[in-house]
Structure 1
Amino acid sequence: MSSRKIELFVPAITPFTEDLSVDTDRFVAHAKALIANGAHGLAPFGTTSEANSLTVAERKAALEALVDSGIDPAQLIPGTGCCASADTIELSSHATALGCRGVLMLPPFFYKGVSDEGVFDAYAQVINAVGPDLRVYLYHIPQMSGVPITLTLIERLIAAFGDQIAGLKDSSGKWDNTAAVIAAFPQIATYSASESLIPENVAAGGAGCISASLNVNPTGIRALVEGLNGSDHVALHAQVSAVRSIFEGLPLIPAIKAAVAAQNDDPGFARVRPPFTKLGRAHTDAISEAVRVAGEQTSR
């Protein structure tokens, strides 16, 4: 097993007010609760955060709210990848100036079928513009972005920018790809997007997990990380996998927000921005079960 520190970063949901503006109070309260209940840090403004439904100004203001609330910037890896390089540069410069640990950066994702050369140029443009203090965590989610982060691209970026390429989140759902990244580039921190893969990730030398369901089950997932060598690791893995499997059968982002709303007895957390719609009554039992199973570990 690798001696690398294993960490959990939460792609925290973005709560909205009744008029669908960002609800800063709920956002900060949820963020602090996640850290208090087991998360090592936050990766706000990722997929689960509805980041691509937020403006640049909204993301900057919300990130500042986290830092102003007392959350250590070293615990933050905000998503900054946009289609327009100027927006990515603005968000990445802002996060770096605040002292954030790094940024989680999608490639430009509207145009499909682009070459590794073009994606390299896009990352290079941002890194050169922001400067040497920037630390980039590459975001590989090809089923959504349509633009993969290939091994060849990673190799070229590391050769060009060294330790400014700090890590990668693999949301492809393909363990073989994650394992290949870990094996080829042990110097970067490679995170799985599913807590069910934490045992494999850790054994291979990975860095841990950045998972949507950490919003609901931070205590259970942290218990798994801490108990991988313990006698109850099988039960701990079963608990996190059970919660994960419920969400995999639901519209993910509305379901995560509905579960957080149920846990807080606060329906305000369930609001989503279009094109998402609020979860319907047909999914009530599934959300209740996810909250119940997550609560089993919390109550221990």
Structure 2
Amino acid sequence: MTHMPGLYVPAITPFTADLSVDTARFVTICRRLLEDGADGLAVFGTTSEANSLSVSERMAALEALVAAGVDPACLIPGTGCAALPDTVALTRHATDMGCKGVLMLPPFYYKPLSDEAVFAAYAAAIEAVPTVALYLYHIPQVSGVALSVPMIGRLIEAFPSTIRGLKDSSGNWDNTASVIAAFPQIETFSSSESLLPKNVAAGGAGCISASANVNAAGIMRLIRALGTPAEGAALSQVSAVRAACEGMPLIPGIKAVVALRMGDAAYARTRPPLLPLTSDQRTAAERAAALCFFKESAA
């Protein structure tokens, strides 16, 4: 099955000086990312510091985004938590609001988990919210819980109208390729824009990338350039930005670059346990910024 390639941004979550969620800045940056051309937003993912947010904070921020005019049909909020009732509450809330779908981590505290255990957790969430459109979230280096191809297949067989896609944040292209080949009917996203040409050529659906917070316009240029003479230059630009972002602590670094773009240092705040950048790392953030949106006028 051929999917239209797309970009969904795991938008950062700004915080106020007292470390509460800064709803006004959250709405502002989300709107800016959509203006940059992103197809949608995967809010409350890893880059959003989702697991540092309470259930009520995520719900309130999502409500604020929709109330501000952002179409819920372009939103895929993260809802996977360690506790099943929290997962169900967030999933039901997002589904009731009309979101395109939800991006769901497996339960990630108890380890090791068998395929049977992971299947049971997803099945329980689906059965509690049977109208959900579910995107699986594979990030084993952080969650410690892998989503195996056989387990994914079992979920698709059991819930064929529910499982809509998967985000593969493992960084392992062979794994992504195996998911695309096994399940061409679902939307499989890579987590790195550098893999976009491979992803789309194999039948994938594009990317959900942390560095899209600072280079959404560049990534969209690459998507438009795929298969054309402009692809090489576009790929070189996004790969350079990605490498610069990976050269810093990723989430504080992304937030620091966003702060530079917005001319507002408040965007750089992180919630503990994440720490702000050191002075040397801030220099790296400035170099990363120079590679992306500070050339917007030439875009």
Partner of residue 127, structure 1: 126
Partner of residue 76, structure 2: 77
Partner deviation per Cα, 1:69-94 (whole Å, 9 max, x = no partner)? 11111100000000000000000000
Cα distance in 1 for partners of 2:294, 2:252 equals: 22
Partner of residue 65, structure 1: 64
- Please report how far the alpha carbon of residue 295 of structure 1 lies from its aligned counterpart in structure 2 after TM superposition: 2.6
Cα distance in 2 for partners of 1:183, 1:28 equals: 37
Cα distance in 2 for partners of 1:211, 1:297 equals: 20
Partner deviation per Cα, 1:29-57 (whole Å, 9 max, x = no partner)? 00000000111000000000000000000
- Please report how far the alpha carbon of residue 285 of structure 1 lies from its aligned counterpart in structure 2 after TM superposition: 2.2
Letter in structure 2 aligned against 1:41: G
**What are the residue-to-residue correspondences of 1:122-271 with 2, within 5 Å?**
122-131=121-130, 133-271=131-269
Letter in structure 1 aligned against 2:53: L
- Please report how far the alpha carbon of residue 282 of structure 1 lies from its aligned counterpart in structure 2 after TM superposition: 0.7
- Name the Cα RMSD after superposition: 0.9
Cα distance in 2 for partners of 1:289, 1:179 equals: 33
Note if 1:25 corresponds to 2:32: no
Note if 1:290 corresponds to 2:253: no
Note if 1:275 corresponds to 2:273: yes
Contact (CA 8 Å) 2:5, 2:206: kept in 1 or not? yes
Aligned-residue sequence identity (percent) comes to 59
- Please report how far the alpha carbon of residue 232 of structure 1 lies from its aligned counterpart in structure 2 after TM superposition: 1.6
Out of 190-199 and 285-294, give the one that drifted further: 285-294
Letter in structure 2 aligned against 1:181: V
Cα distance in 2 for partners of 1:161, 1:177 equals: 22
Partner SS, residue 168 of structure 1 = strand
Cα distance in 2 for partners of 1:206, 1:163 equals: 18
Partner deviation per Cα, 1:77-133 (whole Å, 9 max, x = no partner)? 0000000000000000000000000000000001111110011000000000012x2
Distance change in 2, residues 1:297/1:220 (3 Å): farther
Contact (CA 8 Å) 2:43, 2:77: kept in 1 or not? yes
Contact (CA 8 Å) 1:220, 1:298: kept in 2 or not? no
Partner of residue 95, structure 2: 96
Cα distance in 2 for partners of 1:296, 1:27 equals: 21
Partner deviation per Cα, 1:127-170 (whole Å, 9 max, x = no partner)? 00012x20110000000001001001100000100020000000
Cα distance in 1 for partners of 2:296, 2:223 equals: 15
Contact (CA 8 Å) 2:261, 2:294: kept in 1 or not? no
Cα distance in 2 for partners of 1:217, 1:112 equals: 36
| 5+ residue gaps, structure 2 | none
- Please report how far the alpha carbon of residue 296 of structure 1 lies from its aligned counterpart in structure 2 after TM superposition: 5.9
Partner SS, residue 113 of structure 1 = coil
